[in-house]
Structure 1
């Protein structure tokens, strides 16, 4: 099953329609309209790099962002942009897994647990 991509972002990250709807729903549950979805890459994990995906009210110097409509904005710090160019954020809700997933064409490999990449 192929997901519809809402928009290709200036920072190269895309958000599927399902993920966009989930972000909007979570923000509504929080009762806040000043949050952005921040995606970052940081050192860690068995393979060297881990994803950080969280809501953030801040906009930092050098951040790049794209508005996916109706209050959904994805923000990346300038150091993470090259690691995430072309990455796609989706949301899975199955018996086996529930949560956001990141498909990153820049990841050369990942650890056995799938929590980190290189």
Structure 2
């Protein structure tokens, strides 16, 4: 994938579009490990916000083989992170980390755009 951020006019293979999401080294390593377990090299990490949750929006992180026309894609050392066009404004500036402690194991999202969250910690308004 190209690191060129110039917009392509009508091309099928759009250049990489920045989405403003950062992925920590720990998160990159965990994603690489999970991809290795899947045994596929055509998957990328998709991050999206969807309506729902007690505060209005909920995060979704999942592996996806699709790349939609207006997706923003950034490669973090072989880990492609994809954000759909609708989610980009909500995720711009967000950072994703992976915690592996006695108290918690999982991906965490620090999002400066989130004005509030609920007890589940997965949704925001």
Q: TM-score, normalised by structure 1?
A: 0.89
Moved over 6 A (4+): none
The match for 2:53 among 36, 42, 45 is 45
CA deviations 1:48-106 (Å, max 9, x no partner) are: 0000000000001210100111x210000000000000000000001111110100000
Q: Distance in 1 between matches of 2:27 and 2:49?
A: 19
Q: Distance in 1 between matches of 2:63 and 2:46?
A: 6
5 Å matches for 1:63-82? 63-69=71-77, 71-82=78-89
5+ residue gaps, structure 1, are 1-8
Q: Distance in 2 between matches of 1:99 and 1:116?
A: 15
Q: How many residues get paired?
A: 109
More strand by share: 1
Q: Which structure has the bigger radius of gyration? A: 2
5+ residue gaps, structure 2, are 1-16
The two structures, once aligned, show a CA RMSD in angstroms of: 1.0
